[in-house]
Structure 1
Amino acid sequence: MVAAPSASAVEEGEQRPTSSQPGPVGSRSEDATPPLSALQGSLTPKAAAAIVREHLDPRDVRVFLRSSPARLIAMGIVLVVLCVAAGAVAAATVRDRQQTLNTVLDETEPYAASSQRLYSSLSIADAAASTAFISGGIEPKAVRDAYSQAIGEAAAELAVGAADPEDADARKLAATIASKLPVYAGLVETARTNNRNGHPVGAAYLGEASTLMQTTMLPAAEDLSARQSAAVVDAQRAYTTPPWFSFALLVLALVALFGVQVLLARHWRRILNPGLIVASAIMVALFVWMAVGGSLSAAAADRALGHGTLPLAKLTEGRILAQQARSDETLKLVRRDTSGEYDAAFDDDMARLGAVLTDYGSDIEGSDRVADALRAHTGWLAAHKRMNDTLATGDFTGASIVAIGPGDADSTAQFEALDTAVQQGIVDTRDTLRSNVSRASTVVDKLTPGALTLAFAAAFFVLVGLWPRLREYR
């Protein structure tokens, strides 16, 4: 309970100001300084300045600064500044972190997704172009459509922005791909024309096109995709780091509020100060809101990273490895390769693909799709072995049927099953990524205005708590 003001509240040695005793009517002290208002208009600027200095005697100022009212005012200023500063920093921190998440949703992640689609489209185009040659003459419509669609999607991704315009290195990589894409398409069309006319030189043109894709375009697309994906990962990892400075300011404000209440209890004999207690409760509420809301938001961002961004990168890598393996498999038949170069490339791509799919977690989104992809991966390896065994007997036509035939156990069916499963897994993990990033932003949506409101409310109750103590010194 708050004690009533009394004379004991005044520190020992301090005297309340008292008015002068009035003298006889008409008397006047010779040393009395006339009030400034009485002298307005009758003094020179120099004389007025002298009177002002007399009223603002430094000794009087020093005495006041050592007094209890001055200490109360100083404590009030410090508490108000700390409360408002802690709330303002908390609000600014939350706003900046929310802006980071919004940038991920609106810019960084779409750029990463676009660069990944560009990478996949180029790989699909290369695989489809080589597949078309095995059949000889006019390629099947489905294969031709797959190639045309892949080239169109790659051009579209370059046009709409697979690279962040603020990233000079990303723009340079995209420009490299854009400049080589028409060259690649031209080589493929030349190869097709010769292939339709039965000219063996068509295979050489196709090999040149594939070399351009494998040595220049795909490495550039891979670097571009890696840069854009890294930007998403970096933003999410930075977000999961707690805002230590904001928490430190809140703790400092709480410590200061507690310290002032202890001083009031010791020197002013006021055990409880309702205003400061309410201000402390408000700052505790803000601290808890920041801690709980920030933790929930960080948990959602961490889930977006662990169940969305990282698995998405693995699945994208797996899909590209599958496309490259398919290109190696078909190019072996197109080039009638006996050196083992394409087999070695196929085995390497399939081994890396198997490792990516095997290491994929079983408790994250897309795991069921990966299980389907693993079964198709095993079936594809078996089909590829049959193709090589058939080719070893000199049966090129039979080997071609195994590679591009319609049978469920043939390479085409197994490759398409794997690609479809991985592609659906990419869709699932991207949905998880975006939904969790959105949730992380929504959790702290009200914290920015709330932090400012609570901070000013705490500052108000600080003034309410100290004002009665100041009134005792009137």
Structure 2
Amino acid sequence: MRSRLPATMRNAAQWTRRFVRTAPGVIGAVGAALALLALIAGLVTENAQSAKITRHDTVLAHTEPLANASQRLYVALSTADAAASTAYLSGGVESHDVRTRYENALTDAAAALAEATTGASDTETRAILGRIAAELPSYTGDVEAARANNRQGLPVGSAYLRQASALMQGSILQDAKELQKIRVTQLHDDQDAITGLPWWSTGILVLLLAGCGYGSWILMRRTNRWVNAGVVTAAGLTLVALLWTVATTIAASAAIDTGATARFEKLAQARILAQQARNEETLQLVTRTDIEASNKRFLDDATLLRADLTGLVSTDSPAFTAYSSWQDGHTLEVAAYKSNDYSGAVTQSVKTDGKGSAAQFSALDTALKAELERTRQEVRDDVNTAGNALTLSPWGTLILLLAAAVAIVVGVWPRLKEFL
């Protein structure tokens, strides 16, 4: 038994080598290779197109909402800080509206933080969210201490408020800004995955087309027939699958306007700049020291904000009008402060009607929020349109390539039977 097995295997190997050199061996090998390649191409293409649809679903259900939640978190935290400063400037017991604005901002921040935490799988994001959640109670504690001392007329309240604002500006908001950067990057990555050409599936489809051409040439030499209908049909089906893949990619790319995503990102940045400037504006009155350095920071943020607004909205839009009025109000505030009219500067800063800085800033933030919501809907609509373009492509290309494999077998089998 031990001496026969190696001999049998050697005989089988020798027979196989002789067979593959014959016409039926070559024809069978060509048919099997092309059919196998068609099956592999079908599976690879179906998987690539399905991955695009999965990314589309991820953007709508996960990535885009988290990007929006991250900018809402920053704005809510910054609004709370500005409201706390405004409440302190009001002196004694702040008005109900000011207190409500502060509490609502904290509520919005908590909701945005909870939403931003959803699906936070990477270590960096979890660390950022953990720091924000840990530091926020310290911030609110300092604000309440400032409020309690302010009600009693104790100047130490300003120290508590400066400490709270330093924590917010120096740590919490920096983490919130970094979180937004991460979320927007993820949104860009998912959009690129939807619109990018699937190189693996495209490459294997091109390889299958080339294989059909080369296989036809081999079959022509072995069978003396110019055309093998099955292989030609498979080539045609492969070409349709390739064109379908490319066409859906082009349609998805056309649907997803990256300009809308860029506009969303710039609007979020503009809203953040506005919040930074407003915080600087209110805090400089709390400190009651030389405001030159603080005012320079305010003007730097305001200049950047104006540049962003110029590219985002028209000069006669509500946002730009409110921005201009806010800057005019700030000029009056600084002038009053420098002329030793502290109460006049405070009144100009906290006044919520007319040309008061608080009123004009609120109008600016409301206009920016409306633009953000409109642009956000554009982003979601674009992604949804891209998903519609991709809907049938996974199963459609798979069916085409399975049919191509069947066509190859049907076309080659009769030629193989002629030799058997």
TM range (shorter): over 0.9
Name the amino acid aligned to 1:86: A
Q: CA RMSD in A?
A: 2.4
Does the 8 Å CA contact 1:369/1:421 hold for their aligned counterparts?
A: no
Name the amino acid aligned to 1:306: G
Offset, 1:347:
1.1
2:389 corresponds to which residue?
443
Name the amino acid aligned to 2:327: L
Residue 282 (structure 2) pairs with residue 327 (structure 1): no
Provide the secondary structure at the position in 2 that maps to 1:127: helix
1:224 corresponds to which residue?
179
Distance 1:327 1:58 in 2: 83
- Indicate how the Cα distance of structure 1 residues 400 and 74 shifts in structure 2: closer, same or farther if over 3 A, else same: same
Name the amino acid aligned to 2:50: R
More helix by share: 2
2:369 corresponds to which residue?
423
Distance 1:90 1:146 in 2: 53
Offset, 1:339:
4.0
Residue 305 (structure 2) pairs with residue 353 (structure 1): yes
TM-score (norm 1): 0.82
Name the amino acid aligned to 1:430: R
Distance 1:459 1:220 in 2: 55
1:32 corresponds to which residue?
none
Offset, 1:236:
2.1
Q: Report sequence identity in percent.
A: 37
Distance 1:154 1:358 in 2: 29
Provide the secondary structure at the position in 2 that maps to 1:394: coil
Residue 295 (structure 2) pairs with residue 340 (structure 1): no
Distance 2:98 2:324 in 1: 24
Q: 1:397 aligns with which of 310, 318, 343?
A: 343
1:199 corresponds to which residue?
154
Name the amino acid aligned to 1:335: T
1:77 corresponds to which residue?
32
Offset, 1:55:
12
Residue 267 (structure 2) pairs with residue 312 (structure 1): no
2:328 corresponds to which residue?
382
- Indicate how the Cα distance of structure 1 residues 403 and 60 shifts in structure 2: closer, same or farther if over 3 A, else same: closer
- Indicate how the Cα distance of structure 1 residues 240 and 58 shifts in structure 2: closer, same or farther if over 3 A, else same: closer
Instruction: Give the number of the structure whose alpha-carbon radius of gyration is greater.
Output: 1
TM-score (norm 2): 0.92
Offset, 1:369:
10
Distance 1:55 1:418 in 2: 86
1:40 corresponds to which residue?
none
Provide the secondary structure at the position in 1 that maps to 2:117: coil
Deviates more, 1:176-185 or 1:134-143: 134-143
Distance 1:53 1:399 in 2: 103
1:274 corresponds to which residue?
229
Does the 8 Å CA contact 1:184/1:212 hold for their aligned counterparts?
A: yes
- Indicate how the Cα distance of structure 1 residues 260 and 392 shifts in structure 2: closer, same or farther if over 3 A, else same: same
Distance 1:339 1:404 in 2: 17
Residue 148 (structure 2) pairs with residue 183 (structure 1): no
Residue 248 (structure 2) pairs with residue 293 (structure 1): yes
Per-residue CA distance 1:246-294 (angstroms, 9 max, x = gap) = 1111111111112222333344221232222221211111111111012
1:237 corresponds to which residue?
192
Residue ranges of structure 2 left out of the alignment (5+ in a row)? none
Does the 8 Å CA contact 1:275/1:464 hold for their aligned counterparts?
A: yes
- Indicate how the Cα distance of structure 1 residues 259 and 416 shifts in structure 2: closer, same or farther if over 3 A, else same: same
Per-residue CA distance 1:122-168 (angstroms, 9 max, x = gap) = 10000111111222222122211111011112222333443643111
Residue ranges of structure 1 left out of the alignment (5+ in a row)? 1-44, 361-366
Offset, 1:82:
1.5
